[in-house]
Amino acid sequence: MRVSNCSVSFWQEAVDLLSDICGPAHVLTDTDILYSYGQDETLGLNFGFDILVKPGTAEEVAAIVKTCNELRIPITPRGGGSGVTGGALPIQGGVVVSLERLNKIIRIDEINGYVVAESGVITAELCEQVEQHGLYFPVQPSSKAYSFIGGNVAENAGSIHSCRYGTTAQYVLNLEVVLPTGAIIWTGANVPKNATGLNLTPLFVGSEGVLGIITKVVYRLIRRPEHEVTLLAGFETMEAACNAVLAIKQASISPAAVELIGQEALHLTAAYLNRTLPLVKEGIKAHLLIGLQEVTESALLHAMEKTGSVLEKYTTEPILAGTTALEKEQLWKLRFSIGAALSGKGKTYRDIDISIPLSLLYQYITKVEEIAASYHLAVACFGHALDGNLHTMIMLEQHMGPQAEAKAAEAVKNIYAYAIANGGVISGEHGIGMLQKEFMEVQFSEDHLALSRSIKRLLDPRDILNPGKIF
């Protein structure tokens, strides 16, 4: 369904109705403006659509949804546009609802430890604000500088801290959601324990905008851990790095981050940054970046010693420790530049975000590289090693042409089949969006899919909301 071939007067009527709801200043049809809302961070894709709407309240969102539902116009909700599986791409045209004006932090409740905020608040902004009240929101994705909290919830975002603190789902107490009917509901309550009725909140977490539009988020917050250190270890082989990760899992340490970076990602990013970086040198095939956070200094020292003594068994290189903000920034610099190094200047990548049982970490990486190599493709491997959630990006360049894309698609198919056959899932934190739909049938049983599809149909019988995603 692409409705753009309807008559001009149809769209003019839609613009008028939406302008009545949001005010004409927030209903846009200018091609140049629409262009930048037709893309997120998925490959180099851009989709044309018809009307951009920027509502200012949940009630306006509800009225937009009702109107579009009556007119059978597809709606694509949009947060910060940081997705890599196409969740915010308006693939069937129609209306894009940008939540950028829902950007208010409504209440930070210090005593009860939660924050109520509109879904268009930027993640980093929320994190900073709650920290000023002595509180902490630990799930900070790499895109936090521009991702929206509503998008984080819709994708059940993870972060480098998920191995200790879990993913977004574990912090969502309550959501205000506009259903495809235009009804506005609060899914839960602002209390940490709740066994009252069906558990609706998590149904919307990770639902990628296909069941409702999130307009407010209530996050449970924790106390900020007061003592923190970053360790960097270099390894002569990827196998040694993976074995170190397994050993950390078995030791009674609970690191706040264990990020693995493979050789290809190391070298590409070092070249992109074009500066001297710690432990980037001949003979180093993988890095482990380890974040430790503890409530006391002595507990931190204990965790450092324990982690150090584990790491030493797998590398002869010195282990670097960063304690000041500057030192930590230097150690994390490479990790947080990988995304930028892999894209831009005609480069892009096919995102792979598989989660596999930790015991298969090395076996999985080897298999991915083997499959990619068989298609003459290169892979940049990095990510959340202790969660078994790695990003093994297949690198693409414009000059490689559609043939390379076709090869990448074949390689992805083989990699996914391997991961699923071995207990893995095709997405740990990036979602299905439009990019991974075809693999849902490989991942799930027919009965599972039938149930998921029937829930979508129940909530959105006209398939108005983010159509063409997940299913």
CB contact at 8 A, 238 and 285: yes
Burial (0-12, 13-18, 19+ Cβ within 10 Å), 201: buried
Q: In the stretch 137-176, what mask flags binding to a second copy with x, by CB under 8 A? A: ------------------xx-x---xx--xx-xx------
Q: How far is the CB of 390 from a second copy (least distance, A)?
A: 10
Question: Residue 98: which residues within 8 A CB-CB, separation 6 or more?
Answer: 37, 52, 53, 54, 78, 120
Contacts of a second copy in 277-296 (CB under 8 A)? 294-296
Residue among 108, 246, 319, 378 that touches a second copy (CB under 8 A): 246
Task: Name the segment binding a second copy (CB under 8 A); options: 51-59, 71-79, 248-256, 283-291.
Answer: 248-256
- Specify the DSSP class assigned to residue 232: E
Helix (H) or strand (E) segment spanning residue 460: none
Contacts of a second copy in 53-72 (CB under 8 A)? none
Residue 196 interacting with a second copy (CB under 8 A) = yes
106 vs 183, beta carbon nearer a second copy: 183
Q: How far is the CB of 468 from a second copy (least distance, A)?
A: 15
Cα gap 12→159, rounded to integer Å? 43
The token duo for 368 is 């991915």
Residue 108 interacting with a second copy (CB under 8 A) = no
Residue 398 interacting with a second copy (CB under 8 A) = no
Q: How far is the CB of 86 from a second copy (least distance, A)?
A: 14
Residue among 6, 105, 203, 319 that touches a second copy (CB under 8 A): 203
For 255-313, give the secondary structure using H, E and C: CCEEEEEEHHHHHHHHHHHCCCCCCCCCCCCEEEEEEEEECCHHHHHHHHHHHHHHHCC
Q: How far is the CB of 193 from a second copy (least distance, A)?
A: 4
254 vs 330, beta carbon nearer a second copy: 254
CB contact at 8 A, 235 and 263: no
Q: How far is the CB of 201 from a second copy (least distance, A)?
A: 8
Residue 191 interacting with a second copy (CB under 8 A) = yes
Cα gap 38→430, rounded to integer Å? 19
Q: In the stretch 400-439, what mask flags binding to a second copy with x, by CB under 8 A? A: -----------------------xxxxxxxxxx-------
Cα gap 3→24, rounded to integer Å? 22
Cα gap 217→125, rounded to integer Å? 14
Residue 370 interacting with a second copy (CB under 8 A) = no
Residue among 108, 200, 273, 378 that touches a second copy (CB under 8 A): 200
